[in-house]
A = this chain, B = another copy of it.
Amino acid sequence: MNTLPPRAVVREVGLRDGLQSIATIVPTERKIEWIRAAHEAGQREIEVGSFVPARLLPQLADTAELLAFANTLPGLRASVLVPNLKGAERAIDGGAHLMILPLSASHAHSLANLRKTPDEVVAELSRIRAARDAAGSTTLIEGGVGTAFGCTLQGQVEQSEVLRLMQALLDAGADRVSLADTVGYADPRMVRELCEKAIAIAGDRFCCGHFHDTRGMALANVYAALESGVERFDASLAGIGGCPHAPGASGNAATEDLAYMLASMGVDTGIDLERLLALRGKVAGWLAGETLHGALHLAGVPKTFNTAAIA
């Protein structure tokens, strides 16, 4: 038997990765209700939005307001996605606990999606680090290496290139790095192998695995990552979000399914499953007409399952 960690963090990304890819625009007051209820359910890390121009992602135009609200909740570590220095300056101004700069290890995906080469993103991270330090800010910087397991545009992505870019992000001043299966190409064997190599490079600065459920393997990939020593996972309530290149396919790992799997295995997440399911029901109502995912809300938490002991 491998030993699993005694606890793990489920980082909610539904408000960013989820909402950015669906048509419904959720009003700010509802997003605030979501963040408040997630906090009440025990979630302590929430990515509240993205500092991209509002004309590109009108769904996320209220990120500054959500960040300000999230910072009023005790113990909540709010993060934001930042595409560049300009976004990072807003994250620093807003007092984010963490900002995440995405990098795509696939050159084709990087050019198509970020309009920069991966190495230009590394250079941007250097500038963000300099700006953060000059501002005397404590906002952490995470370099998130996406398309780390394959890419719809480019096909295979070499492990050596993923690891080179991860090292380059650390050298450029990232406090943390993470890996994302942006388009759902990962399998548990790949995850285990790459995460072990990533941890060998980054140690405890390797902070998170982000797995999409495009081909049904999100939870299997989380389990493989857990076995490798990863202790933080991105997930999205009702599995919203996903892969624009695979229409109809599932999105992120569903927060509620992931939280249940971890609790069932005795890995403490601090999450109250019944409260989380109640929130899922509320958000599902707001997103009526959108394709939602997840299984736990249908089957429920087994009656014999001791959620109180876990939460």
Contact = CB atoms under 8 A, between A and B. Distances in A.
Interface of A: 1-2, 4, 150, 152, 155-156, 184-185, 187-190, 192-193, 196, 213-217, 219-220, 222-224, 243, 246-250, 254, 257, 260-261, 264-266, 294-296, 298-300, 302-304
A299 B248 CA distance: 7
Given A214-B299, A220-B261, 5 more contacts: A156-B304, A184-B299, A185-B302, A216-B294, A246-B300
A189 B135 CA distance: 46
A83 to B, nearest CB: 26
Contacts of A216: 219, 254, 257, 261, 294-296
A295 B249 contact: yes
Contact of A196 (B1, B188, B213, B215): B1
B299 A249 contact: yes
Contacts of A214: 295, 299
Nearest to A226: B188
Nearest to A213: B295
A94 to B, nearest CB: 35
Nearest to A193: B1
Given A150-B304, A215-B260, A295-B249, A223 B188 contact: yes
A61 to B, nearest CB: 30
A214 B264 CA distance: 14
Contact of A295 (B150, B215, B304): B215
11 contacts: A2-B2, A150-B302, A155-B304, A188-B265, A190-B264, A214-B295, A215-B260, A215-B295, A217-B219, A246-B300, A250-B295
Contacts of A4: 189
Contact of A243 (B264, B294, B299): B299
Contacts of A249: 295, 298-299
Contacts of A2: 2, 192
A219 B217 CA distance: 7
Nearest to A247: B298
A273 to B, nearest CB: 11
B302 A257 contact: no
Contact of A302 (B155, B192, B247, B300): B155
Contacts of A185: 302
A1 B302 contact: no
A156 B214 CA distance: 32
Given A196-B1, A222-B220, A296 B261 contact: no
Contacts of A188: 223, 261, 265
A264 B302 CA distance: 32
